[in-house]
Structure 1
Amino acid sequence: MKSLEDLKKLRDEALKRMNMRYVKNGYRVQIGMGTCGIASGAKPVLAAFLELVEYHNLNNVTVTQVGCMGECTYEPMVEIIDEAGQAFVYCNVTTDMAKQIIEKHIQSNQPIDKYLLSTRKG
């Protein structure tokens, strides 16, 4: 950083990332960050979702981390809860899959059946 302007820009970017985790309306993306999830690669998946939501300027999407999702074999797991309360659980999620989930499921409202572990009404 070389100026106060650089510091302000850094602050604004950090605030934008923090706010992305607390949006109340729209989609909720929950990344399983229990020990098994982290060991299976959930941290890069979380980072990918945060970056993609910011890149696509999706103001109606909350990205958050949750604890163990109870199915260690299927980690990393991501649960998408839509505006109607419908929950979709994706398993063995990679950063490439995160991009597809954002573009197809969240932006086009088309869940990707081949990646789903389950769906349920919330």
Structure 2
Amino acid sequence: MKTLEELKVLREESYNKMYMRGMTEGVRVQVGYGTCGIAAGAKPVYDTFVSEVESLKLNNVEVTKVGCMGECAFEPIVEIVESNGSKTIYCLVTDRIASEIIEEHIVKGNRIDKYLLSKIKR
């Protein structure tokens, strides 16, 4: 069992990592991997992000699975969290769109508005 102080430190470290606090560069790609995300095709999307990050040697990009994103009708959902704290949520992502997100958003820094949850959900 951890002491209360150890748990507080662990909580702060987790919070900082989750919100990229203290990071000067880097991107975290969060792929919705709840039941509805998996049913909608999150696995090939996740696999595409992982393989392209590895093949392009993007050492400052972390790809991770997260649970339910809360918008079942728009799965697979991918959230891009940048070191400056900005977040971008893409929806109805396919492996082709995942490749486009890597190339345009992550490598070139250009958000792709046509795939944004806020645009499609209207």
Looking at structure 2, the residues matched to 68 and 118 of structure 1 have their Cα atoms a distance apart, in angstroms, of 17
**What is the alpha-carbon distance in structure 2 between the residues aligned to residue 96 and residue 55 of structure 1?**
16
Matched residue, 2:43: 43
Q: For the residues of structure 1 that align with 2:55 and 2:96, how far apart are their CA atoms?
A: 15
Structure 2 segments unaligned to the other structure (5+ residues): 1-22
1:8-53 per-position Cα deviation (integer Å, ceiling 9, x unaligned): xxxxxxxxxxxxxxxx750000000000000000011000000000
Instruction: Specify the SS of the correspondent of 2:51.
Output: helix
Between the aligned partners of 1:31 and 1:58, the Cα distance in structure 2 is: 17
Distance in structure 2 (CA, Å) of the matches to 1:51 and 1:28: 15
Q: By percentage of residues, which structure has more strand?
A: 1
Match of 2:91 in 1: 91
Mapping of residues 1-122 of structure 1, within 5 Å? 26-118=26-118
| Residue segments in structure 1 that go unaligned for 5+ positions in a row | 1-23
Q: RMSD value over aligned CA atoms?
A: 1.7
Q: C-alpha separation between the residues in 2 aligned to 1:118 and 1:84?
A: 20
State the partner residue of 1:14.
none
State the number of aligned residues.
Answer: 97
TM-score under structure 2 normalisation? Answer: 0.76
4+ runs of 1 displaced by more than 4 Å? Answer: none
User: What TM-score, normalized by structure 1, do the two folds share?
Assistant: 0.76
- State the percentage of identical aligned residues: 57
